[in-house]
Structure 1
Amino acid sequence: MASPPLLRAACALVPTHGFTRRALALSALSLPQPHEQPLSDTAINALFGEGDDARRTLADAWLENAREEVRGRFQGRAQVPRVNEVLEARLEANEPVLRHLPEAFALLASPTYPLPPLDPRPGLKHAFKVADDACRIAGEATIGTDWYVRRGTLAAIYAAAELHQLTSPTTAYAFLDTLLAASATAKSSLDDVGTFANYIARSWAGIVRSSGVF
């Protein structure tokens, strides 16, 4: 689902302004028929949520737009891409905002309530969506348990590659290829939902801690 115009405009400002309320405020100036003034704090609260909730809304929208961008890149191609091409394209989509991603991930993983201290569910959801997109775009036909195992394996691989990308962008693609080449081993160790969830949660926690926010 495409983001509303204001969120889409704000997403385009993330490379410069990060996942901030400022980016949301300035989005009103970037519409096809721009406003004369940036959005007020009151308007941001009403449209996107109060405080950091507005920033979480922007982070969620950016992740969805990145997935949409990758799907569009491969749409209509005569040759069906391989899974690794799709995952590489998704890593590439991170590049313009790479310096801001740790903070965005930290925002998404920080719960609204005091406990627990870290919510792994956004990481699980994000990685699994990327994996599902890769399988669909590559035309992989799996059913039953294999459907979940394949996506769980790819989600774990992508999460690890994305964490690697934050600390070593130039080697992230080679790291992804190495993990994919060893995916048979990854599959055997991630063949149940609990193991997969724990793996992604650890990867997500690593992303958050690398941001220095917590």
Structure 2
Amino acid sequence: MSASSLKRTQLLKIATSLVKTHGFTREALARSVLYLPNQKHVESKQDNEDCQPLSDTAVSSLFGFGDAARTTLIHAWLDEGINHMSNSSQPARNVSDVLHTRLDWNEPVLGYLPEAFALLSTPNPSWLSLQFDPLPALKHAHRIADEAAYLSMDTSRELAWYARRISLAGIYSAAELHQLTSPSTAHSFLDSLLTGSSSLEQKLGDVMLYSDYVYKSWKGILKSRGML
């Protein structure tokens, strides 16, 4: 990895930790440079001209122009969420523990998540028409389901393997959507879905049904918040 690529990766990782205070913004990316290991804490260097956030030009060069930089940060944060599941899990940990761990990862940034998913799901926004694409939400849920099944040492084979992951993706999607509107009851809601996972697995076994569920649920939330 080149020095520039290494620095970009390092800055992006730092920026994911700044989302909780600055959101999924270009500002979070710009301020990441202030927290490099060789820098003192930003608050003690406010008047030091040698310690400044990245310029807008530098942010664009490293992470993309306009909202592309924000999208880069969102994807990096989602990747860190997967890493959080792995690093917080012990061998043979059950699915419930893993999914609860992933919900915990959302908590510091819940207020920013609808806008982040709106950005991922409307790749070509315009004031005239916003076309909602459910694929990013589906991929997000399936990545989490696949990781949860892997960490819990799921041994399903062939069709059962796919059915299990579709079921877990549906369960996690429902819990995450619930978390956005009722954070305090998200974990108990997840438990209730896991308890009834056999019937839910049958209901969500059809990929088209599951896709339609995610599409309508996310679109409804984004519309209610004026993002579509």
Question: TM-score, normalized by length of structure 2?
Answer: 0.86
- 1:6 has 2:11 as partner: yes
Q: Residues of 2 paired with 1:113 and 1:95: CA distance? A: 27
Q: Is this contact kept in 2: 1:109–1:208, CA < 8 A?
A: no
Q: Residues of 2 paired with 1:155 and 1:191: CA distance? A: 11
- 1:108 has 2:123 as partner: no
Give the greater-gyration-radius structure (CA): 2
User: What residue is the counterpart of 1:70 in the other structure?
Assistant: 85
How far is 1:118 from its partner?
A: 0.5
Q: Residues of 1 paired with 2:65 and 2:213: CA distance? A: 32
Q: How many residues align?
A: 210
Letter in 2 for 1:106: A
Letter in 2 for 1:65: E
Identity of aligned residues (%): 49
Question: Given the alignment, which residue of 91, 105, 118 partners 2:103?
Answer: 91
Q: Is this contact kept in 2: 1:26–1:39, CA < 8 A?
A: yes
Question: Given the alignment, which residue of 149, 152, 172 partners 1:135?
Answer: 149
Answer 1 or 2: higher relative contact order, Cα 8 Å, separation at least 6. Answer: 1
Q: Residues of 1 paired with 2:92 and 2:201: CA distance? A: 23
Q: Residues of 1 paired with 2:139 and 2:56: CA distance? A: 30
Q: Residues of 2 paired with 1:211 and 1:46: CA distance? A: 32
Question: Given the alignment, which residue of 40, 44, 51 partners 2:59?
Answer: 44
User: What residue is the counterpart of 1:24 in the other structure?
Assistant: 29
User: What residue is the counterpart of 2:46 in the other structure?
Assistant: none
Letter in 2 for 1:121: L
Q: Residues of 2 paired with 1:208 and 1:64: CA distance? A: 23
Which range is displaced more, 132-141 or 183-192? 183-192
Question: Given the alignment, which residue of 94, 100, 105 partners 1:82?
Answer: 94
Q: Which runs of 5+ in 1 are unaligned?
A: none
Q: Residues of 2 paired with 1:135 and 1:161: CA distance? A: 17
Q: Is this contact kept in 1: 2:138–2:211, CA < 8 A?
A: yes
Matches within 5 A, 1:163-202: 163-202=177-216
Q: Residues of 1 paired with 2:38 and 2:11: CA distance? A: 11
Which range is displaced more, 46-55 or 195-204? 195-204
Question: Given the alignment, which residue of 60, 73, 78 partners 2:75?
Answer: 60
Which range is displaced more, 183-192 or 134-143? 183-192
Q: Secondary structure, in 3 states, of the residue corresponding to 2:174? A: helix
Question: TM-score, normalized by length of structure 1?
Answer: 0.91
How far is 1:32 from its partner?
A: 1.3
What CA deviation, in whole Å up to 9, does each residue of 1:162-202 have, x standing for no partner? 01101111100111111111111111122222222222222
Q: Residues of 2 paired with 1:60 and 1:181: CA distance? A: 31
Q: Residues of 1 paired with 2:115 and 2:79: CA distance? A: 17
Q: CA RMSD in A?
A: 1.9
How far is 1:207 from its partner?
A: 4.0
What CA deviation, in whole Å up to 9, does each residue of 1:97-140 have, x standing for no partner? 11111111111111236677111111000000011111001011
Q: Is this contact kept in 2: 1:110–1:118, CA < 8 A?
A: yes
Q: Which runs of 5+ in 2 are unaligned?
A: 1-5, 40-49
How far is 1:210 from its partner?
A: 4.5
Which range is displaced more, 16-25 or 31-40? 31-40
Q: Residues of 2 paired with 1:189 and 1:171: CA distance? A: 23
